[in-house]
Amino acid sequence: MNILILGGHQLDHMPYHDWLLYEENNLFVFMDEEEVEKTCSHISQNIWEKYQLIKKYKNYFINGQVELDAIELHRKYKIDRIVSFRELEILRAAKLRDYLGIPGQRFDSALVFRDKVKMKEVALRGGLKTPAFSPIKMVTDLHRFIETHGYPVFVKPIAAAGSVNARALRSEADLRNFVEFNLAGDIRGNGYTQSYHVEKYVEGDFFNVDGVVVRGELVMCSPGRYNAHADMENIGINGYWSSTMFDRDSSVRRRLVSYIDKLLKVLPTPQNTVFHSEVFIDRDGEITLCEIAVRPPGGGMWTALNHAFNIDILKLAVTLQWNPDLVDADTLKQKNAVVPMLTGSILLSPKEAVFRTAVKACPLDGVIKYDVLAKENVSYSGGKNSCDAAAIFVIKGTSDQDLRETVKCCVDWFWKNSLWEQA
């Protein structure tokens, strides 16, 4: 096969060449020039040589030459599959598949999983609860929604990821702070710069549900409990964001699995995919959709899943895109029925200070992985999105409660064993 990899995400530690069987297939990679310089300088020449072509682009994510070069590559080699890993690539990859007649997720499907308004519209028509929501392009759109539904509300870009520019507005002051730099756009141009959507803020608990679909069947599904909502106000107040798995016999777990199974059937879900979803259970005890993406989870959650089920979720995500016949659905079902280990993950947000140093090894029980991500002697201004982290923990436990206690211990330990100074 001839396989085009869009993005080459984290090529420095993701062995696409092994996952895509480079000895049997021709591999072509299009990726961001800046990312290559930052993350791939240490990759040995013998790894580069396992790819037929690695093409680097300036301004990769907005550079239309990527599509033109993909078309030319298809004319020359006949591309059989397009693999895209991260959320920002999904629409580009799907559009190219449609245009070139390449198997895989189609654009109509990808758009529903990227556009949060379309996503909620389809879910609502399928009988699933969503918050009150509306697309917004101008300040007047947002003001009208607030006049109708009242505070608090939650605003975020229609197609962003990682809670970038997502925030809760609880008052007129919050509204004014938000619109000072958003929505008004350039009145000399088209009147707005980026499409947002607004929804009524859901008071309740926040959960993630990650899983795998093979040949149209949900074969693995793992719900987890977040410690806070995904807006930077909540994450900043707590100083961390964590996700912990449920006990196997949890009634909440069963409800979340059932809900996601229905959601996947309502949406135009690819026949073969991994997914990462987020839902609320509101004050009335009803499950309410936040959003869902056809990609693995980030922020340490994928590592926690790997340990829980003894799988490689990243390899699985890639394999399902190019040759799902290599995926043993029965084995995944068996792992899902047992769940060998309960796990969780923690992201510690940077402080508004200069990071000096931190202890490099954690002696606490239940810690599977601990990495310091903050750079020494660098000044930070807090977290900018839900994936910004000064440190990351992946943990294990014997129960839901055990995991949550370990989260508290890890958070306390890190702050006591790291040094930050005011600039």
Domains 132-200 and 205-421 alike in fold: no
Domain boundaries, the chain: 2-104, 132-200, 205-421
Reported as half-sphere exposure (CB side, CA atoms, 13 A), residue 8 has a value of 25
pLDDT at position 189: 52
Cβ atoms 122, 112 nearer than 8 A: yes
pLDDT at position 162: 55
Instruction: Specify the pTM.
Output: 0.93
pLDDT at position 252: 97
pLDDT at position 14: 83
Assigned fold of 132-200: Dna Ligase; domain 1 (3.30.1490)
Distance CA 257, CA 276 (A): 12
Domain at 2-104, CATH class = alpha beta
The CATH number corresponding to 205-421 among 1.20.1560.10, 3.30.870.10, 3.30.300.30, 3.30.470.20 equals 3.30.470.20
Q: Pairing between strand 2-7 and 26-32? A: parallel
**Cβ-Cβ contacts under 8 Å for 366 (sequence gap 6 or more):** 395, 396, 397, 402, 403, 406, 409
For residue 255, the SS3 value is helix
pLDDT at position 381: 87
pLDDT at position 154: 95
pLDDT at position 16: 92
pLDDT tens, residue by residue, 41-96: 777 788 888 999 999 999 998 999 999 999 999 999 999 999 998 888 899 999 99
Annotate 55-92 with b (16+ C-beta within 10 A) or e (fewer).
bbbeebeeeeebeebbeebbeeeebbbbbbbebbbbbb
Extract the residue ranges of the chain whose pLDDT is less than 50: 186-188, 191-192
Residue with tokens 């629409």: 91
pLDDT tens, residue by residue, 162-217: 566 788 999 999 999 999 888 765 444 554 456 889 999 999 999 999 999 999 99
pLDDT at position 213: 98
Distance CA 184, CA 178 (A): 10
pLDDT at position 190: 52
pLDDT at position 28: 96
Classify residue 228 by its DSSP letter: S
The DSSP element (H or E) to which 28 belongs, if any, is strand 26-32
pLDDT at position 186: 47
